[in-house]
């Protein structure tokens, strides 16, 4: 399978590294706007570099892997679909559920597949927890507490600071947990959220959010999201009437070192989870996508999953702005 990767930031580089480890995949092109970075990466991965997306689309790549800021997804997906290329796209697919559905419809109309990366479904601890919940190991789940956070992401042109481009911490970061919660506990009935946005003493943006979700099943989930931590960390506690499941990713990393670095010395990029193991969740996800495209394996993340995860995030944003709970079930779109 011939892959073309679009985007040379943190996620683009991670995807390139993951693809390079797969024997059944050939990286046939890398596209980005920074000529120097594109040249360096194309040399590293022994492939062609492009600063013009149209030129990549005219090449012999079969699949376009989009690792760009969220607000650019729609434009690049539509161009790839028109060129007859299958598409892999980083989460979140778009900034609202309506646009997500339009993109799926557009790809269907052009007879190409669209696969969206919700990587949490490939993390062993989250897979295991879901299996235990589904198997009844903890009885009827009552309360779920989750947290996810890291330093404020350093994107090119500071696009993360513009909520109209990134969706902020609740869409860009929270989408992971919103998707996993739906996958594990079913539909979200109501959302209530609070959000804090300010700058630290050194001028670094800080964004923190608390989201409470009532699931249709009756389970209550509390999610804490943060772009104000020194390093990435995530955790969950799931309590049922027969027991509890708990995980904290810091317990999986035996050595912890914290060094305070001034914000002006931190480079561009996004802090991502550290993993210990031979095959990363990202590699497993991309291998699953490959099998979906060449072996007709059923997609683990459906269009409905992608759309509704974005809708939950948008409901949380709406609730934080209004100070009122937002009911979802009555306003869900049917896919």
pLDDT > 90 fraction of the chain, expressed in percent and rounded: 84
- Provide the whole-model pTM: 0.90
Overall average pLDDT of the 144-160 stretch: 93
pLDDT at 259: 41
pLDDT at 272: 53
Residues in the chain: 335
Tokens representing residue 317 in the block: 């944003």
Instruction: Give, rounded to a whole angstrom, the gap between the first and last alpha carbons of the chain.
Output: 30
Residues 6 or more apart whose CB falls under 8 angstroms from that of 116 comprise: 88, 89, 90, 91, 93, 301, 306
pLDDT at 254: 43
Q: Given phi > 0 = left and psi -120 to 50 = alpha, else beta, which region is 127? A: alpha
Kindly tell me if the per-residue pLDDT of 332 is higher than 70: no
Measure Cα distances from 39 to 6, 33, 42, 43, 253 in Å.
13, 11, 5, 6, 34
**Mean pLDDT for the chain overall:** 91
Overall average pLDDT of the 225-234 stretch: 95
Measure Cα distances from 258 to 143, 201, 228, 230, 261 in Å.
32, 19, 14, 7, 9
Confidence band (pLDDT; 50, 70, 90) for 201? confident
Quick check: 247 and 236 in contact, CB under 8 A? yes
In the chain the domains, ranked by start, together with CATH numbers, are: 2-118 (3.40.50.720), 120-294+302-327 (3.30.360.10)
Quick check: 117 and 89 in contact, CB under 8 A? yes
Overall average pLDDT of the 4-28 stretch: 97
Hey, how many other C-beta atoms are within 10 angstroms of the C-beta on 161? 15
Quick check: 134 and 186 in contact, CB under 8 A? no
Distance (Å, rounded) from C-alpha 270 to C-alpha 253? 19
**Residue pLDDT, tens place only, 96-125:** 999 999 999 999 999 999 999 999 999 999
- The more confident residue out of 67 and 274 is 67
Alpha helices, DSSP H, located in 45-174:
53-58, 73-82, 97-109, 124-134, 163-166, 168-172
Hey, how many other C-beta atoms are within 10 angstroms of the C-beta on 84? 11
Confidence band (pLDDT; 50, 70, 90) for 334? very low
Q: Exposed, middle or buried: residue 224 (CB in 10 Å: 0-12, 13-18, 19+)?
A: middle
Quick check: 300 and 288 in contact, CB under 8 A? yes
- Give the sheet arrangement for strand 188-199, strand by strand: 244-248, 233-240, 141-149, 220-227, 205-215, 188-199, 326-327
pLDDT at 97: 97
pLDDT at 120: 96
**Residue pLDDT, tens place only, 259-270:** 444 545 445 555
Three-class SS state of 126: helix
Overall average pLDDT of the 155-170 stretch: 93
**Residue pLDDT, tens place only, 22-58:** 999 999 999 999 999 999 999 999 999 999 999 999 9
Angle between helices 124-134 and 175-185 (to 10 degrees): 30
Overall average pLDDT of the 163-184 stretch: 98
Long-range contacts of 327-331 (CB under 8 A, 24+ apart): 327/189, 327/190, 328/187, 328/188, 328/189, 328/190, 328/191, 329/187, 329/188, 329/189, 329/216
pLDDT > 70 fraction of the chain, expressed in percent and rounded: 90
């Amino acid at each position: 399978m011939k892959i073309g990767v679009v985007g040379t930031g943190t996620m683009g580089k991670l995807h390139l590294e993951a693809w390079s480890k797969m024997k059944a995949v050939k990286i046939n092109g890398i596209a980005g706007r920074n000529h120097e970075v594109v040249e360096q990466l194309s040399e590293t991965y022994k492939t062609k570099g492009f600063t013009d997306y149209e030129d990549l689309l005219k090449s012999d790549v079969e699949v376009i892997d989009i690792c760009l800021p969220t607000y650019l997804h729609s434009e690049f997906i539509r161009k790839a679909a028109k060129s007859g290329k299958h598409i892999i796209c980083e989460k979140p697919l778009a900034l609202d559920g309506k646009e997500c559905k339009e993109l799926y419809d557009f790809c269907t109309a052009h007879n190409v597949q669209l696969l969206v990366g919700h990587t949490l479904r490939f993390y062993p601890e989250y897979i295991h927890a879901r299996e235990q919940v589904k198997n009844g190991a903890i009885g009827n789940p009552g309360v779920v507490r989750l947290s996810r956070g890291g330093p404020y992401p350093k994107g090119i042109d500071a696009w993360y600071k513009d909520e109209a481009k990134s969706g902020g911490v609740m869409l860009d970061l929270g989408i992971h947990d919103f998707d996993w919660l739906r996958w594990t506990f079913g539909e979200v009935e109501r959302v209530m959220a609070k959000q804090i946005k300010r700058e630290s003493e050194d001028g670094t943006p800080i964004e923190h959010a608390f989201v409470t979700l009532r699931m249709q099943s009756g389970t209550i989930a509390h999610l804490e999201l943060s772009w104000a931590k020194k390093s990435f960390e995530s955790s969950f506690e799931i309590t049922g009437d027969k027991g509890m499941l708990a995980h904290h990713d810091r317990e999986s990393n035996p050595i912890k070192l914290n060094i305070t670095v001034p914000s002006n010395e931190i480079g561009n990029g996004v802090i991502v989870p550290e993993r210990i193991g031979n095959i990363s969740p990202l590699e497993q996800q991309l291998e699953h996508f490959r099998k979906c495209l060449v072996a007709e394996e059923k997609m683990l993340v459906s269009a409905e999953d992608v759309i509704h995860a974005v809708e939950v995030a948008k409901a949380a944003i709406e609730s934080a702005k209004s100070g009122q709970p937002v009911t979802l079930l009555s306003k869900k779109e049917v896919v």
